[in-house]
Chain A
Amino acid sequence: MNALILSAVLGVIMMFSGVMLKQKSAVRNIAITGLFLLLVVNILEMSGMSFFRINTAGMMHFDRFSLLFNCIVFFSTFVYLLLSARDIEKTGNYYAEYFTLIFFILCGVILVSSFQSLLILFLGIEIISIPLYILTGSDKKNLKSNEASLKYFLLGAFSTGLMLMGIALIYGSVGSFSTAQINMTEKPGALMIAGMILLLFSMSFKVSAAPFHFWTPDVYDGAPTVFTSFMATIVKVAAFIAFIRLFGEAFGNLQPQWQIWIALITAATLFIGNITAVFQQSVKRMLAYSSIAQAGFMLLSLYAMNADAKEGLLLYSAAYSLATIGIFAVLIKMNDYTFDGFNGLAKYQPLLAATTTIFLLSLAGIPLTAGFISKFYMLKAAVATGRHLWLVIFAVLMAAVSVYYYFRVIQAMYFKEGQPGIITTSPVFKYTLVVLAALIIILGIFPNLLLNWYYF
Chain B
Amino acid sequence: MQNALQIAWLIPLFPLLGFLINGLGRKHLSKSAIGVIGSGVILASFVMSIWVFLQVKDGNTHVADYFNFISVGDLSIPFAFQLDQLSSLFLLIITGVGFLIHVYSASYMHEEKTEHFGRYFSYLNLFVFSMLLLVMGGNYVIMFIGWEGVGLCSYLLIGYWFKKAEYNKAANKAFIMNRIGDLAFLIAIFWIIKKVGNVNYHDVFQFAGENKFSTADITGITLLLFVGATGKSAQIPLYTWLPDAMAGPTPVSALIHAATMVTAGIYMIARSNVLYSLSHTTMNIVAIVGLATALLAATIALKQNDIKKVLAYSTVSQLGFMFLALGTGAYVAAVFHVMTHAFFKALLFLGSGSVIHAMGGEQDIRNMGGLSKKLSVTYFTFLVGCIAIAGIPPFSGFFSKDAILLSAFEKSPVLYGIALFTALLTAFYMFRLLFITFSGKFRGTHEQEHHLHESPAAMTIPLIILAVLSIIGGFVGIPEALMHGGDKLSAFLSPVIKPHEGTPVSHSTEYGLMALSTVLVIAMIIAAWFKFRNYQRSEAAGFGKVLENKWYVDELYDKIIVNPLNKFGGFLNSFIEKFVIDGVVNGVGRIVNYSSRQLRLLQSGQVGSYIFLMVLSMLVVFVLQFFLRK
Q: Which residues of A contact B (CB under 8 A)?
A: 151, 154-155, 158, 190, 193-194, 197, 201, 205, 211-212, 214-215, 217-218, 257, 261, 272, 275-279, 401, 404
Contact = CB atoms under 8 A, between A and B. Distances in A.
A272 B599 contact: yes
Contact of A279 (B597, B607, B617, B618): B597
A214 B605 CA distance: 8
A193 B625 contact: yes
B611 A158 contact: yes
A214 B613 contact: yes
Nearest to B611: A158
B596 A278 contact: yes
Given A275-B599, A278-B593, 6 more contacts: A193-B625, A211-B617, A214-B610, A218-B605, A276-B603, A279-B600
Given A211-B617, A276-B596, A197 B607 contact: no
Contacts of B603: 214, 217-218, 276
A275 B588 CA distance: 12
A201 B618 contact: yes
Contacts of A257: 625
B576 interface: no
A453 B600 CA distance: 42
B600 A276 contact: yes
Contacts of A214: 602-603, 610, 613-614
A279 B593 CA distance: 7
B572 interface: no
B625 A197 contact: yes
A94 B43 CA distance: 85
Given A155-B610, A214-B603, A404 B592 contact: yes
Given A197-B621, A197-B622, A211-B617, A155 B599 contact: no
A170 B626 CA distance: 16
**Would you call the interface of chain B mostly helix, strand, loop, or mixed?**
helix
B71 interface: no
28 contacts: A154-B607, A155-B611, A190-B626, A193-B626, A194-B622, A194-B626, A197-B621, A201-B614, A205-B614, A211-B613, A211-B617, A212-B614, A212-B617, A214-B602, A214-B613, A215-B610, A217-B603, A218-B603, A218-B605, A272-B599, A272-B602, A275-B592, A275-B595, A276-B596, A276-B600, A276-B603, A277-B596, A279-B593
A211 B614 contact: yes
Contacts of A279: 593, 596-597, 600
A86 to B, nearest CB: 32
Nearest to A279: B596
A215 B602 CA distance: 12
Interface of B: 589, 592-593, 595-597, 599-600, 602-603, 605, 607, 610-611, 613-614, 617-618, 621-622, 625-626
A151 B592 contact: no
Contact of B607 (A155, A205, A261): A155
Contacts of B613: 211, 214
B85 to A, nearest CB: 51
The 10 A-B residue pairs with the shortest CB-CB distance in the complex, in nearest-first order: A279-B596, A214-B610, A278-B596, A211-B617, A276-B599, A275-B596, A275-B595, A154-B607, A279-B597, A275-B599
Nearest to B599: A276
Nearest to A404: B592
Contacts of A211: 613-614, 617
A401 B626 contact: no
A158 B600 CA distance: 23
A276 B593 CA distance: 9
B612 to A, nearest CB: 10
Nearest to A153: B607
Contacts of A151: 607
Interface-central residue, B589, B592, B602, B607, by most chain A CB under 10 Å: B607
Contacts of A158: 611, 614
B48 to A, nearest CB: 43
Contacts of A194: 622, 626
Contacts of A205: 614
Interface-central residue, B596, B605, B617, by most chain A CB under 10 Å: B596
A227 B140 CA distance: 66
A190 B622 CA distance: 11
B593 to A, nearest CB: 6
Contacts of B595: 275
Contacts of B599: 272, 275-276
Contact of A261 (B610, B621, B626): B621
Contacts of B589: 404
A205 B607 CA distance: 14
Contacts of B597: 279
B586 to A, nearest CB: 13
Contacts of B622: 194, 197
A148 to B, nearest CB: 10
Contacts of B621: 197, 201, 261
A34 to B, nearest CB: 36
A277 B622 CA distance: 30
A211 B614 CA distance: 6
B592 A278 contact: yes
A304 B579 CA distance: 42
A276 B596 CA distance: 5
A401 B592 contact: yes
A278 B598 CA distance: 11
Nearest to A405: B596
B236 to A, nearest CB: 49
A205 B614 CA distance: 10
Contacts of B607: 151, 154-155
A393 to B, nearest CB: 15
A295 B589 CA distance: 23
Contacts of A277: 596
Interface-central residue, A154, A211, A277, by most chain B CB under 10 Å: A211
Interface-central residue, A190, A194, A272, A278, by most chain B CB under 10 Å: A278
A279 to B, nearest CB: 4
A194 to B, nearest CB: 7
A21 B590 CA distance: 57
A124 B599 CA distance: 33
B615 to A, nearest CB: 9
B602 to A, nearest CB: 8
A401 to B, nearest CB: 6
Nearest to B626: A190
A81 B625 CA distance: 45
Nearest to B605: A218
A208 B559 CA distance: 66
A198 B478 CA distance: 100
B608 to A, nearest CB: 10
Nearest to A162: B618
Contacts of B600: 276, 279
Contacts of A275: 592, 595-596, 599
A214 B601 CA distance: 11
Contacts of B625: 193, 197, 257, 261
Contacts of A278: 592-593, 596
Contacts of B614: 158, 201, 205, 211-212, 214
Nearest to A256: B629
B595 to A, nearest CB: 5
Nearest to A200: B621
B72 to A, nearest CB: 24
